[in-house]
Amino acid sequence: MNCRGCGTPLALPLIDLGTSPPSNAYVRADQLEQAEQWVPLKVAVCQQCWLVQTEDYTSADSLFDAEYAYFSSFSSTWLAHAERYVAEMVERFGLTADSRVVEIAANDGYLLQYVAGRGIPCLGVEPTRSTAQAAREKGLEIRELFFGRDTAAQLNSEGWAADLMAANNVLAHVPDINDFLGGFATLLKPTGVATFEFPQLLTLMAGQQFDTLYHEHYSYLSLTAVQALCERNGLEVFDVSQLSTHGGSLRVFVQRVDGERREVQSAVQQQLQAELAAGVKTPEYYTTLAPAAERIKHQLLRFLLQAKADGKRVVGYGAAAKGNTLLNYAGVKPDLLAWVADANPHKQGKYLPGSRIPIVSPAQIDLEKPDYILVLPWNLLHEVSQQLAQVRQWDGRFVIAVPELTVL
């Protein structure tokens, strides 16, 4: 396979997580007798532009289909983050009722609802029918399309040249990343700004977050790689900030290279230097994740097997994609993890891909009073432990597996 960023042949492996179904391919009850599509999950590193990427085995059309079940609005943490983002962008860039805001991967309208609430014209681009419909029900204008240069040209011709383009947690999900970024150069006004948020490679590696690797993530991004990608597609990074979301993310600000350019902030060079010092441009940097994943797998299995031997009941919380990577890599089935509770009704009544662990309503926790709750989206541990504070009443404990098996 060649690098999807620069075309260089990939020769440096990061990790091989075996085979598994796509992490968001939840199984309906009427599909339990059918075989799932199991595909390799291998990640490699480009030694030319240092883009870390999942090897191609599945198409975006099959991963982000009409039944796509990730709805951003079911996380109160994420809603609060989106509301803060809108307030910050309005203040920093002086957005008004005369501005145009376009969000790429608008999901269920979790962010644009706050833009519309300020009276700013906005448009969402969202390829998955289920979430697009949820956004429309909020009164938002949504185009059910994948984004790239052609879509950008179409929107531009319709008067949607943008003062601000938001792309939260989508850049890593794009197979043709050059076409995607080229669309921003096409749709931004000469004075426009685009922001990208994505989990950053430094925290993935430092936190041994191998469970954030899954088929829907085509790339794992450093600023080093993103800057090169932007330069290749008519964009310039002019600022970057650190975020706590998803266990550690970056928010990157970009502008057109042929537009009215803002001064590049010192934070850009500081982040690039931090990545260089960490070793992102050395093959040795990428040798630690595979053994860490193996260690985490064995820790989790030892805990689950011991709990079963002791007659303790262990369930999961959060039918998240990262949880599916973890459970399928470790080979966990319902005999060790009885069920997973999730607040998203679109997931309830279905089964996790691969493991076939049933997904239930959080109300089941109060009914069964399990001894341990394995929080699969560990980045939301604080939110989950507050929502489920009643678990302490029967001496229930919370557990996370990454980066170390921890019982809380």
The β-bridge partners of 9 are 2
Clarify whether residues 264 and 362 are in a common domain: no
DSSP classification of residue 244: -
Clarify whether residues 296 and 246 are in a common domain: no
Could you tell me which of 76, 55, 68 has the C-alpha nearest to residue 9?
55
Contact 44, 10 (CB under 8 A): yes
**pLDDT confidence of residue 70:** 59
User: Of 235, 259, 286, which marks where a domain is finished?
Assistant: 286
- Residue 305, domain member (yes or no): yes
CATH code assigned at 370: 3.40.50.720
Characterize the bridge pairing of strands 235-243 and 249-256.
Answer: antiparallel
**pLDDT confidence of residue 77:** 82
**pLDDT confidence of residue 229:** 99
Could you tell me which of 208, 110, 100 has the C-alpha nearest to residue 162?
100
Clarify whether residues 236 and 336 are in a common domain: no
Clarify whether residues 339 and 399 are in a common domain: yes
Clarify whether residues 342 and 260 are in a common domain: no
| Amino acid letter for position 198 | F
Residues in the chain: 408
Domains: count for the chain: 2
- Residue 3, domain member (yes or no): no
**pLDDT confidence of residue 73:** 65
Rg from Cα positions in the chain: 21
User: Of 286, 306, 335, which marks where a domain is finished?
Assistant: 286
**pLDDT confidence of residue 57:** 72
pLDDT, tens digit, for every residue of 222-258?
999 999 999 999 999 999 999 988 778 999 999 999 9
- Residue 30, domain member (yes or no): no
Clarify whether residues 280 and 341 are in a common domain: no
Clarify whether residues 180 and 237 are in a common domain: yes
pLDDT, tens digit, for every residue of 316-354?
999 999 999 999 999 999 999 999 999 999 899 999 999
Clarify whether residues 108 and 173 are in a common domain: yes
Residues lower than pLDDT 50 in the chain:
none
**pLDDT confidence of residue 24:** 87
Tokens of 15: 């990790």
**pLDDT confidence of residue 244:** 87
- Residue 277, domain member (yes or no): yes
Contact 337, 327 (CB under 8 A): yes
CATH code assigned at 135: 3.40.50.150
- Residue 53, domain member (yes or no): no
- Residue 44, domain member (yes or no): no
User: Of 286, 312, 346, which marks where a domain is finished?
Assistant: 286
| Interior angle at CA 83, CA 381 and CA 183, nearest 5 | 100
- Residue 47, domain member (yes or no): no
**pLDDT confidence of residue 248:** 87
Which structural domain, as residue segments, surrounds residue 174? 72-286
Clarify whether residues 265 and 307 are in a common domain: no
Clarify whether residues 156 and 233 are in a common domain: yes
- Residue 304, domain member (yes or no): yes
Clarify whether residues 294 and 278 are in a common domain: no
Clarify whether residues 266 and 330 are in a common domain: no
